[in-house]
């Protein structure tokens, strides 16, 4: 029997980017007020939908320009209460605003899923070329997100909005990912063999083993002889390789580096 899910989605983005219109189209209603005037949505609004026995809660947030904006505090609160954040961007952009970079990084840092949606896709002329450009700059701006699974949508023109719901369900299931310890350790051994960490004052950093300790999001402990000496770039490298190897996109994984316990330590008097 197919397992049903309960998923809370928080829609964020600049004023007038089409968040409310997008939610209305998914709900197949006009419950949320929309307008060409920026700032129509003044506060976070909650709506629910049952689709294929899955229960969705949509949080429509007010647009944010700057981090010092009062709405940013409300946005952070809405992000914390959701499971997946939907970052809605205008397809005409050629760079990611600093505020959105911070919000996306914060979303992943607190263990939430993230979907980037490029809206107003119907206004783009050279779609194939533009899609490659947007996918590349999202990957460069948010490498921790993964290599794919951005959506390109026209909230006014598209008919098939179930792809937003389908991807959300797929991401919710990724949070429950469980990996066999033996498989993880084979991956770690092979990865380190190909790309070993740099030595610290002539001393070799050795990785003993890795084990998954939690889900929602997937969390792992990696044991090493010098965990405090592993630089951040190598930690990010391992995180990226782990996500790529197991096809974990749109959600974070947490790696915790710990010292290998001395088996004789507790026997010492």
Average pLDDT score, the chain:
85
Work out the end-to-end distance of the chain between its first and last CA atoms, rounded to an integer number of angstroms.
56
Instruction: Kindly tell me if the per-residue pLDDT of 93 is higher than 70.
Output: yes
Phi-psi region of 39 (alpha: psi -120 to 50; beta: other; left: phi over 0): left
SS (H, E, C) the chain: CCCCCEEEEEEECCCCCCHHHHHHHHHCCCCCCCCCCCCCCCCCEEEEEEECCEEEEEEECCCCCCCCCHHHHHHHHHHHCCCEEEEEEECCCCCCCHHHHHHHHHHHHCCCEEEEEEECHHHCCCHHHHHHHHHHHHHHHCHHHCCCCCEECCCCCCCCCHHHHHHHHHHHHHCCCCCCHHHHHHHHHHHHHHCCCCCECCECCCEEEEEEEECCCCEEEEEECCHHHCCHHHHHHHHHHHHHHCCCCCCCCEEEEEECCCCCHHHCC
**81-85, 141-145, 204-208, 227-231 — which is least confidently predicted?**
141-145
pTM of the model: 0.85
Can you tell me the mean pLDDT for 134-138?
84
Range(s) of the chain covered by CATH 3.40.50.300: 6-174
For 265, residues 6+ apart whose C-beta sits below 8 A from its C-beta are none
Residue 108 has which token pair?
Answer: 């992943």
Range(s) of the chain covered by CATH 3.30.300.20: 181-267
Residue 89 has which token pair?
Answer: 């961007």
Tell me the backbone φ, ψ of residue 157, rounded to 5 degrees.
-110, -35
Residue-wise pLDDT for 209-240, tens only, equals: 999 999 999 999 999 999 999 999 999 999 99
Instruction: Kindly tell me if the per-residue pLDDT of 186 is higher than 60.
Output: yes
Query: What's domain 6-174's superfamily in CATH?
Result: P-loop containing nucleotide triphosphate hydrolases (3.40.50.300)
What is the model's pLDDT at position 60? 87
CATH of 181-267, one of 3.40.640.10, 3.30.110.30, 3.40.718.10, 3.30.300.20: 3.30.300.20
Local confidence band at 268 (pLDDT 50, 70, 90 cut-offs) = very low
Judge whether 44 and 62 are in contact, CB under 8 Å: yes
For 95, residues 6+ apart whose C-beta sits below 8 A from its C-beta are 137, 141
Phi-psi region of 202 (alpha: psi -120 to 50; beta: other; left: phi over 0): left
What is the rounded CA–CA span in Å between residue 118 and residue 20? 14
């Amino acid at each position: 029997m197919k397992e049903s899910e309960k998923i809370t989605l928080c829609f964020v983005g600049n004023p007038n980017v089409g968040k409310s219109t997008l939610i209305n189209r998914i709900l197949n209603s006009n419950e949320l007020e929309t307008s060409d005037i920026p700032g129509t949505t003044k506060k976070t609004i909650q709506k629910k939908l049952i689709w294929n026995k899955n229960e969705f809660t949509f949080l429509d947030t007010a647009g944010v320009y700057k981090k010092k904006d009062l709405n940013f505090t409300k946005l952070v609160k809405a992000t914390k209460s959701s499971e997946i954040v939907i970052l809605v961007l205008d397809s005409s952009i050629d760079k990611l605003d600093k505020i959105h970079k911070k919000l996306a990084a914060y979303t992943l840092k607190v263990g939430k899923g993230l979907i980037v949606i490029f809206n107003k896709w119907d206004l783009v002329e050279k779609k194939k070329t533009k899609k490659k450009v947007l996918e590349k700059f999202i990957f460069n701006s948010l490498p921790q997100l993964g290599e794919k699974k951005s959506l390109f949508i026209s909230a006014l023109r598209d008919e098939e909005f179930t792809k937003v719901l389908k991807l959300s369900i797929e991401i919710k299931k990724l949070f429950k990912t469980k990996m066999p310890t033996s498989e993880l350790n084979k991956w770690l051994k092979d990865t380190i063999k190909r790309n070993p960490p740099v030595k610290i004052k002539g001393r070799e950093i050795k990785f003993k083993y890795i084990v998954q300790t939690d889900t929602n999001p997937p969390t792992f402990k990696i044991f090493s002889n010098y965990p405090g000496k592993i630089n951040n770039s190598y930690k990010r490298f391992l995180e990226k390789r782990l996500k790529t190897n197991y096809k974990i996109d749109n959600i974070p994984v947490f790696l915790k580096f710990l010292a290998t316990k001395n088996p004789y330590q507790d026997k010492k008097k």
